[in-house]
Structure formats: C-alpha cells, structure tokens
Chains A and B, each alone.
Chain A
C-alpha cells in the first residue's frame, strides 16, 4: 500500500479507514462482523476499479508523477538477467538523468536507454530531477549507434518533465542534441521500442522517443509541453493545468487516437506503484512481443516502416 496519497485518492482512503475501524470494533467487542467487512471490502474493490479506470487527464498526470512510481532503473533491474551500465557522451559529461547500458531481457540482448528520476531530495538532485542535459541525449546517441553496429535492438524508457532548461544546456546545444537524435533514430537499422513509463514532456521525451513501437502505461502522459507549462503560456495561469491537460489531450488513449501510441499498457488498480512487479511484468511482455514482431524484418524494411509511421502523423487539409 502506498504511503503517499494524492488529494483525489482520498475518498477511497476514507472507505479503507472505515473497513479498518470496523475490524477494530469487531475485535474490541468480540463480535462477528465478517459479513459487514466482506461487504465493505467488495465495495472498496469495485469503487477503486471504477475510480482508477475513469481518472481525468490531469489526475493521470499526477499519477505519472507519483513519488513512489517505479522509475527506469526499477524496470531495468527487475527485467534484465544481465545488465552493464555504459557511461558518458565522450565529450563533456556523464548525464545522470539518462542511464544507458547493455542488458538481456528474457534472454534477448538489448541496448537500454532510460530517463531516470530520483527518489527523495538528494537522489533527485543527483538525477537533476530527471531533466537531461545535452550530454544525456549524446550518450543515448552513442549507445544507439553502438547497438546498430552490433545489430542489437534498442529499448528506450521515457520519463521526463522535460529537457533541462539551463544556461549550460543551451550553450552546449540542447536543441542540436535532441534534433540529432531524431534524425539518427529515424533511420537506425535496428528495432527501437519506446515505453512511456511516466512523463513524456516535449522534445525532452522525443529525444529518446522515436521508434518502431511506442507503448504508454495507463497513468502516463505525452505531449508538446507539460499541462502547467501550457496553462501559464496560453491561460497565463499555471493553476489552469487541469483545463490545459484536457485541451491538449495528453492521456494515453488520446495518443492512441492520434496514431502516436500503439497500445496502452494496463496498470494495477491504484497505479504502477501499488504493484510494481505486475507493472514491470506487463512492460516486459510488451517489449518481448514487439521484438518478436520486429526481429524478422530486414533492416531496410524496418527503416521504411518507421519512416512511414512518422510520415503519416499530423492532420491537415488542402
């Protein structure tokens, strides 16, 4: 059970508390209240299912940021039989907000890239709150090119509130680093599987987010800007984030409708952090299934399909 409860989850917690107090009453008075308790528990289960199935977009954004939500390294450590981290962009730094390395998942070799948030203040400072600098994108680029050389498929786990908006990041070419990745990833001659495990903010997410398959976990979001960012620009009021989330249609189902996301991966009731094992197993299954589909394709065919995938995105009239 999660220790950290979001504001909108509180009604459910009240029901939980009621079950607890009923149990205490039963014990204290030495009476059998198992029927009442069973009934309440059934009611809670049903209520929770309905509740989490029908979250608003803004609520999903908050779920995506839940402090106990599994991060990239949680997935990597649990999914891999072998994992060896590779560091550095060979130019300026080793960016802690993007991890990378080689690993095997279900016996399949993969080059794994993951945007990494921290847990707690110290870890978050170390990971720069999951906001990559240009070096992170250049490390990812180097590792993806290494993967292509040895015909190893790429897995990218997306989870960022955005590329770091800093002075140094601009001086060292944040935009160039992201742009370069988009170009190289679009014709990389090995399969690329993308999973949005948390937040998919803008170019910062897309910089490691171009591929052959894109999956989003149920409580994630992916858009051109964060709802708060959009609210403060379009409404001049960051508190209008809820409206902005709806206006931009940032939820996984929206992205499926736009043809950007292939499939929404279900999360356990209450979110990935309530049962990380199950979430990780779901993600692993999706990765292995897409590898089976993609492995058989000749590199030219793979690249042609990837280009066609992006070619058709967008809506217009003429």
Chain B
C-alpha cells in the first residue's frame, strides 16, 4: 500500500547524502544569509532569520502533515498523462513527461492520498512544482477530481496544497477544462456540506488559482507565497506601469480579501487539525 512512499523517501535520503559535501550551506533568497542545511531542515525549510519558506515538494508536505506511511493510501497512483494532442514545440510533450519523471521521481505534478492527520481522516492533494511547473493537465485534473469524489463519498474533509504555474499548455483546451471539472466536483462536495481547505504555496498561479485553489471554505497561504492569475511580467507589459511592492504575494492577497489566514509552516499541521475538528469532523477510531 505505502511502498511508493517508502521508496521515494529512500530516494530523498540518498540524494541528500550525495549533496552533503557541496550543499552544507544554503543561501536564503529572502535575506541572503547563509544557513546551515541541517538547521534549515530542522526548521521545516524555513529561514530562521527572515522566515522565507523554501520549497519542500509534495513529499515534504506529506511528511510534515500526515500521521506516517501506515496511515497513507495513495489514490490513483498509476493515473498519468498522455499526449492527446501529439504536442510538439521545442520538445515533444512525451519527452517532457519522461524527463520530468526522471528528474523528480514523480509520475505527475500531483499526489493524492487518503490519510490521517493527528488521527483525523483527510483527503489531501499535494502538487509539486518541480514536475513541469506543477502544471495541471488532464491527469492532474482527473486525480484531483477523483480525490474530491473520494472525500465526498467517505465524508472526509478535503485539502489541497497548491504550487503551480497554471494549466498545462501541452494539452490545450483539455487542460483548460480541468479547471471546470475540478470546480464542478467541488460544487458537489460543497452541496454535500464537505469542508474544503485550500493551502496556497509559492507559487500558485494561472488556471489553478482560477479554479480549486480559490474555492476553499477556508483559504490558507504560506508567508510570502506568490499567488495570482496573470504573470507579473504580462501585467507589467500590458499596463505599462511598475507593479506595487509586494504585488501578488500572500500578504497582498490577505489585504485584498482573498486569503483567510497566512500560516507559518511550523503551524500548518496544528491549524489544519483545529479547523477539521472545529468544523465537526471526528478522529478515526482505528488508525492502524
């Protein structure tokens, strides 16, 4: 059941070991300080000086939030993308997919799981920006849609952790329709009174923001996360003006009314547990 999980963890460990010599220190893009890698890892990859949140990938969030591999069932692990449009730009889509899989060890830009968080059942979809920019094609849309259905059928709360450049161009209008599909599934989930918590991490943009990411009953964001619809460069070119300081950052969205709360990564698990409990869900009797 959780073999994929252990395997990928081993992979992370071996990568770490290999990089130890050259990668003892990380430079923080927030404050330019050098941080001892081990310190950074102990602090959930958050800069102790300026609280810059380094990316931790989908496995990072699974480790951070869920009760452990025994509690985790991956949903639809074998569901992957196909090249429906025989797409070719500089590279063939099929080559891009193969390269992404090789680079990340992931099969798609999202992992969906049924699991427990502090013994509360939860369905969680975690995106990974390192897989083709976390873009949403048919496979991502379908996996998230099925996860929402699973949560509805089992009356579990649903959460997504987004990090995405938007819809996947390589699938044309089919990827666009994933925005409609996931939103439609959330409409059904909402009608069944399910709790949907959307967590926005750096970056969450384009078609993902313009669908499920903005539809949470509660929307949380990590500090400093870039969140928006159009890219800053496009906006700047279009309006011919400089953009305000902090434009499209989590704090900007909070001010503009689109985010309920900015949550530091160290508080993310307890915040989720409190929300799930407050909105009426109960801990599983048997979590073995």
The answer to whether A88 and B280 have CB atoms under 8 Å apart is no
The answer to whether A87 and B275 have CB atoms under 8 Å apart is no
B260 at the interface (CB under 8 A from A): yes
A151 to B259, alpha carbons, bound, how many Å?
Answer: 23
List A contacts of B257 (CB < 8 A): 87-94, 135, 139
B213 at the interface (CB under 8 A from A): no
Q: How far is the CB of B251 from chain A (nearest CB, A)?
A: 11
Interface bits B255-285 vs A (CB < 8 Å: 1, else 0) = 1111111000000000100110011100000
A288 at the interface (CB under 8 A from B): no
| Chain B: CB-nearest residue to A96 | B255
B106 at the interface (CB under 8 A from A): no
| Chain B: CB-nearest residue to A111 | B278
A86 at the interface (CB under 8 A from B): yes
The answer to whether A82 and B259 have CB atoms under 8 Å apart is no
Candidate in B255, B257, B259, B275 with the most chain A CB atoms within 10 angstroms: B257
The answer to whether B280 and A151 have CB atoms under 8 Å apart is yes
Chain B, interface residues (CB within 8 Å), range: 20 to 34
Q: How far is the CB of A82 from chain B (nearest CB, A)?
A: 7
A135 to B258, alpha carbons, bound, how many Å?
Answer: 11
List B contacts of A139 (CB < 8 A): 257
The answer to whether B261 and A150 have CB atoms under 8 Å apart is no
| Chain B: CB-nearest residue to A147 | B279
List A contacts of B258 (CB < 8 A): 88, 90
Q: How far is the CB of B78 from chain A (nearest CB, A)?
A: 35
List B contacts of A87 (CB < 8 A): 254, 257, 259-261
**Known contacts A82-B274, A85-B261, A86-B261: A150-B218 contact under CB 8 Å:** no
The answer to whether A149 and B274 have CB atoms under 8 Å apart is no
The answer to whether B260 and A88 have CB atoms under 8 Å apart is yes
The answer to whether B256 and A94 have CB atoms under 8 Å apart is yes
| Chain A: CB-nearest residue to B217 | A146
A92 to B280, alpha carbons, bound, how many Å?
Answer: 30
Within 8 A of B (CB), among A75-90: 82, 84-90
A95 to B259, alpha carbons, bound, how many Å?
Answer: 13
Interface bits B95-131 vs A (CB < 8 Å: 1, else 0) = 0000000000000000000000000000000000000
Query: Which residues of A are at the interface with B, using a C-beta cutoff of 8 A?
Result: 82, 84-94, 102, 104, 109, 135, 139, 146, 149-152
| Cross-chain pairs A/B with CB under 8 angstroms, 24 sampled | A82-B278, A84-B275, A86-B218, A86-B260, A88-B259, A89-B257, A90-B214, A90-B257, A92-B256, A94-B254, A94-B255, A94-B256, A94-B257, A102-B275, A104-B278, A109-B278, A135-B257, A139-B257, A146-B217, A146-B218, A149-B217, A150-B280, A151-B280, A152-B279
Query: Which residues of B are at the interface with A, using a C-beta cutoff of 8 A?
Result: 190, 193, 195, 214, 217-218, 254-261, 271, 274-275, 278-280
